[in-house]
Every structure is written in structure tokens, then in C-alpha cells.
Amino acid sequence: MKNFKFRFTNQSWMIDDTTGFLRCKAVVIEDSVMPYLLDEVSEYPAAIVTGSTIYLYADKNEFSKPGAIETLEGCLLTVGHEWQTIDATNSVGHVTGIPELVGDQLVADIMITDLDTVKRVVLPDDDPLKLQDLSSSYESDVDWGLGRTLGGRDYHGRQTNFKFNHIALLPIGKGRGGSTVRIQNEEGETAVEFTKVRLSNGKSVRIANEDVGVLENAEDEHKEKMSNMADPAKLQEAMTQLETINAQMSELQSQKGELEGQLQAAKEQLEAALSPERIQQEAESMANEKAGAEKIMNAIKGDLKVIDGLRGNELKEAVVTNFRAVNSLPELTDEQRKDPAFIQGLYRSYEETAGVASIVPGATALQINNEQPKPHTIKRNHGA
């Protein structure tokens, strides 16, 4: 498991307004020769190793091969190192897009999707909780044999068949040494952890990775990186806005659940209202209501056309108004007309007395007959 430590390039920092995810561009690994102590490598060809240090070459022509790139695409991000498997993951994000070789460096976009991790990345540099170092972990084979890079660095073996496993975010200075593999908000530093190497004989050994080299023209690059630094104040403002949006979304979700419950209740009530039993009940109620109204109108020899098409309180108000006019009773006030309970009481009383006797002292008895009543239309009066 190899761990390189790089910095993110600040000109590529971006917090998504909708999700709050932080997107950065980072150097994952670079073309370099790295030293290891002898006791860190369990097996090596003693014939070619004459000193106390073994040098292994991470060749850009190897780690940029399509097969290696494919293992890096979608690679998980972690806080600290833990080899990632289906049974053990602690992801806080992932590599997004397609990594590419830029000069001697393999560069990839990473997406941090954990809120606490985003907050730690954007902390000030002097905060001990700040996450800045980026350490990549992978497996590789070693082809043993003395060689020299184009830059004149000698090595004992060349790493091949790279298979990336995860990328770890670490606090500043937690790597074992170096200065080129970190979040690039100041001059880069490289720190490396451990490397799990699969040898050509099929055996695997765990070795510690040392310095991956120092960038050339460090002063010029430092100035460029400083000019592209992300503004911590703006990042903090974006995080505050994100927390506000999350709170609003939670409230809207609660309101949505309540409205869905009301809609379900209304749906059930509508289904009950449209059931055959309910329709039959409504039909019988309408028939009884119409029969009662006609009973009163016939008793006063009123015009049935006056109540044609009316229902409920409107029907009862029309019947009561006609009944009172025929019997020379005072007109109802607006307040009485608007009171359904009051109208209902008068209506029930008139319905019970219809065909029995007039309720007005000295008036002739009301009679019900089967003849068509003479027109005696009393218009409804809605005035005062």
C-alpha cells in the first residue's frame, strides 16, 4: 500500500451550492525515486543492493497506463489510512472524472462529500484539526534491476502494475517527509506512509515510502499557489449557507409529510363518498328532503317551481320564506337567514304542522289535496 502526500490546487476549489460537496484538483503521484531502509523490505536481491538503502522508481509511464488509471477512477477518499474493501470502508468522498498525466504528475479531481471533512479542509493553516496532506495508497509489482532515470537518479527496482486502493486525507505534517503531495494552498510538501509491494516472485512485502522529491523552481511555484489560494472567509460563508439550506430542506420535508397525510385522508374520504352505499344514502336523503319540501309547499298551495333545483339549507330557506309569507309572518332578518340551525328549526316545525292547521291564530286550517296548486309564487327576499 503506497501513500503519497500532495496538496490540492486551490484554483480548482469549488463548493457546490446545492449539495455542499467540495471539489478539488490534486496530485496523486509523481515520477520519482523513493528510498527505503533495508529492514523495511523483507525480500530483495542482495546482489544489487550494496548499501543500507533501497531505491525504487515510480515511473510515470507505468502509473499513467490505462489499467492503472482505471483503478484510480472512483477511488475512495478516507480520513487517515485504512485499506478499503467491501467489508471495511470509511469513505468521505471519491475521485471524480478521469485522472490525467500533467508533466511528471498524475493529477485527479476529488470530491469530498462529508460535511465535517469539508470543514476541516477549509480551516486556517494554524489549526491542528486542518486536513491538508493527501496520501495515495496502492499496490504494485517491482521489477528488480539497476537503472537510472532521465534526471540522473539511480534505483534498484522499478514499480509496475499500479492498482490504487484509496486516497487518505491527513493533518499537516503527519506524513513521514517530503514536500510535493499536499493541498496546494502554500508551498507543497510531500509526506508518504507505507507501501504494500507485490514482488515479481508473487510475494508481498510492506515497506515505508520516503521522500518523493522536491519540485523545481519552488519559489516561483510558491508565488503562483499563493495567488490562487482559496479565500477561507468565502468558504466559511458557503458552509454557513449550506447549513441554512439544510435546515430549510428539513422543514420543507416535514411540511411535505404533513401535506401527504392530508392528501391521503382526502383521498380516502373521496373514495368513501363515491362508494355505492354512500351514493344510495345520498339519493335517499335527497328524495326525503324533496318530499318534505313539497309537502310544506303543497300545504300552502305554493308554486313548486320556486324550490326546483334547490338543496340543503338553500331549499329550506326558500320553503320557510314562502311559508311565512303565506301565513303573514314577519320576514326573516339577514342574521336569521344566515343561521342554518335557525332555518332548520323553523323548517322542521313547518313540516310537522303542514296539512294539520295554520299556526296563525284565527286563520283557516291548511289542507293538503292532490290538485295542482294554483300559482302562488313568493320570490325569495335576500334584502333586509
The residue range of the domain holding 321 is 286-353
Are both 110 and 160 inside the same structural domain? yes
Closest CA to 326 of 302, 354, 352: 302
Are both 238 and 313 inside the same structural domain? no
pLDDT value at residue 15 = 81
Are both 9 and 52 inside the same structural domain? yes
Task: Specify if 279 maps to a domain.
Answer: no
Are both 222 and 142 inside the same structural domain? yes
Average pLDDT over residues 263-282: 81
Average pLDDT over residues 329-343: 91
Are both 186 and 319 inside the same structural domain? no
**Per-residue model confidence as pLDDT tens digits over 59-74:** 999 999 999 999 999 9
Task: Specify if 167 maps to a domain.
Answer: yes
Higher pLDDT, 12 or 137: 137
Is the pLDDT at 274 greater than 90, yes or no? no
**Per-residue model confidence as pLDDT tens digits over 100-113:** 999 999 999 999 99
Q: What is the mean pLDDT of the chain?
A: 76
- Distance in angstroms (rounded) separating the CA atoms of residues 380 and 305: 12
Q: Which residue bears the cell 344566515?
A: 338
Q: Give the domain-ending residue among 216, 240, 274.
A: 274
Is the pLDDT at 264 greater than 70, yes or no? yes
Are both 187 and 299 inside the same structural domain? no
Task: Specify if 281 maps to a domain.
Answer: no
Name the percent of the chain lying above pLDDT 90. 24
Are both 221 and 236 inside the same structural domain? no
pLDDT band at 343 (very low <50, low <70, confident <90, very high): very high
Range with top average pLDDT, 138-142, 185-189, 366-370: 138-142
Are both 91 and 204 inside the same structural domain? yes
- Structural domain count, the chain: 3
B/e letters for 238-249, b = 16+ CB within 10 Å, e = fewer, are: bbeebeeeeeee
Are both 115 and 35 inside the same structural domain? yes
Task: Specify if 76 maps to a domain.
Answer: yes
Task: Specify if 220 maps to a domain.
Answer: yes
Task: Specify if 71 maps to a domain.
Answer: yes
Is the pLDDT at 370 greater than 50, yes or no? no
Here the contacts of 81-88 (C-beta below 8 Å, separation 24 or greater) are 81/1, 81/3, 81/135, 81/137, 81/166, 81/168, 81/193, 81/194, 82/166, 82/168, 83/1, 83/137, 83/165, 83/166, 83/196, 84/165, 84/166
Higher pLDDT, 212 or 267: 267
Are both 237 and 343 inside the same structural domain? no
Are both 100 and 218 inside the same structural domain? yes
Q: Give the domain-ending residue among 222, 245, 274.
A: 274
Task: Specify if 52 maps to a domain.
Answer: yes
pLDDT value at residue 75 = 93
Are both 26 and 142 inside the same structural domain? yes
pLDDT value at residue 228 = 54
**Per-residue model confidence as pLDDT tens digits over 203-255:** 554 443 443 333 334 445 645 555 555 567 778 888 898 989 999 998 898 89
Is the pLDDT at 281 greater than 70, yes or no? yes
Q: Give the domain-ending residue among 246, 274, 302.
A: 274
Task: Specify if 292 maps to a domain.
Answer: yes
Q: How many CA atoms lie within 13 A of 166 on its CB side?
A: 22
